[in-house]
Amino acid sequence: MSASTETAAEPARPPSVRQLDSESLKYARWQSAAWAIMFGAGENTLSLLGAFLKAPSLFFGLMSAIPQLVGPLTQIFAAGLMDRWPHRRTMVLIGVLGQSVAFVPLALIAFLSPEGATHWILLSVLTLYFIAGHFSGPPWTSLISDLVPSSRRGVIFSQFGRISATLTLASMLATAAVLWYSNKYDAEHKAWYFAGVFLVAGLARFVGFLLIARMEEPVFEPKPASAFTFWQFIRRARESNFVKFVLFAAFMNGSANISGPYFLPYCRYDLKFADWQWLVISSSGTLATILALLFWGKFADRFGNKRTIAYSSLLIAIQPLNWLLSDNFYFLIGINSMAGVAWGGFNLAAGNYILEACSPPVRARCVAYYSMMIGAFVFMGSMLGGYLLKVLPRHLEIGGWQHDFSSTFMYLLWFSSIGRALTALVFIPHFKELRDVHSFSLKEWFFENVQTRIAGGIRVLPFAGNDKDD
């Protein structure tokens, strides 16, 4: 792999790129809004469609694992295609249009009988949907990173995140209201409500397609000589800071997916929650992410992405155990809000870290290999969780100690939490921060923020470090 894969600083962007920032970023912001509506109304409802079609618990693991495994292979293909056909915007448009069209068969599947091959038809369409989305991933990352200055990525991407999360929340709540109405007043026509939701999602994605088509594309000069294979990438694990980070992210996502795909069947099949209740629980995490991004973006820009990842990872590690404390609907809303705070910081900092660690010529390929690793570990974590869910007993007896679990899902919560904690403890010390950032003192940071609020926004207590960079 080229030595230019990791860089501490990014070269100055050409004037032509700076001139494109304002107009193209405006369309990018609106595109993120259209994507959020698609995601909140459509993608977040896919699992509920599986429950509506009475899919078994293991099927939810497959719904998460197989598309996420096949999708990153598509990213590798897309990254390689960019080396020979440097039309990034066109590649993004192809993937976005494919996702938009995929919602049409998803709407039709809602009318099929749960028996027979319906579940496998659903899985096939979902796989094609995720392939289309992953195909647009590397060229979109390359394109948007050229338009956003490296010194402002935390703030700008957190702004994008807040827009996306706000509209995701709104569309999820609207979908919850639609499904609540169908459950209460028109349950026999529920398939029509699912179909309507998916068609709205497809339309929103098509609006995103039109917005991306209006974005300008900075000149992109691929360098095939800097290409490297996946195995060359992995073999550099000992000396490559970025590969160490990728392994960390892969193990973290794999550990999370031991339990992740099975929260919905636990709520729907074991706790007997309605569709709208599940969407409200999910929405609470999205709302928390919106509020948290106001903090995480500035925190990451000032104190570094690694520190943001470290603190959010510790919060992520304890989240599954909170689900053991109660199955009360309102309590679970609060627990999922905490998860939204943690994952909001983790995902923002991880995305920024990738942009900082990879130089522009190899960025798309590195994103593809990153996604490949994430997809492989998500697949393994999901399948392990599905296997344990099926084989572990509800009644556990060790020596003289006995316990009856309300659901075998409780085991998955323990295994997932332990896996997340071990991943954070083992991997985080081995990759480094890539920027010069402020030193961090919890006590000093706390009192600075308290006094700033009291002073009405005027800084009273200077923070250790070079304040002119704030």
pLDDT tens-place string over residues 387-427: 998 888 877 666 666 667 778 899 999 999 999 999 999 99
**Tokens matching residue 9:** 């600083």
pLDDT of residue 442: 55
pLDDT of residue 293: 78
Distance CA 316, CA 346 (A): 9
- Supply the DSSP string of 205-247, one letter for each residue: HHHHHHHHHTS--------GGG---HHHHHHTTTT-HHHHHHH
Domain with CATH 1.20.1250.20 in the chain: 3-437
Of 87, 131, 130, residue with least CA distance to 364: 87
Q: Which CATH architecture has domain 3-437?
A: Up-down Bundle (1.20)
pLDDT of residue 92: 92
- Amino acid 341 reads V
pLDDT of residue 464: 32
Is the CB of residue 308 less than 8 Å from the CB of residue 299? yes
pLDDT of residue 436: 63
pLDDT of residue 371: 84
Below-70 pLDDT ranges, the chain: 1-22, 149-155, 220-227, 396-403, 434-470
Question: Residue 2 CB: number of other CB atoms within 10 A?
Answer: 15
Of 352, 38, 354, residue with least CA distance to 174: 38
∠ Cα 78 82 87 (to 5°): 110
With a CB cutoff of 8 Å and minimum separation 6, the contacts of 321 are 413, 414, 417
Distance CA 102, CA 325 (A): 39
Of 414, 415, 422, 366, residue with least CA distance to 248: 422
pLDDT tens-place string over residues 151-186: 666 667 777 877 887 888 899 889 989 988 888 887
pLDDT of residue 24: 78
**Tokens matching residue 143:** 């394109």
Question: Residue 189 CB: number of other CB atoms within 10 A?
Answer: 10
Q: Is pTM, for the whole model, over 0.95?
A: no
3-class state of residue 88 by DSSP: helix
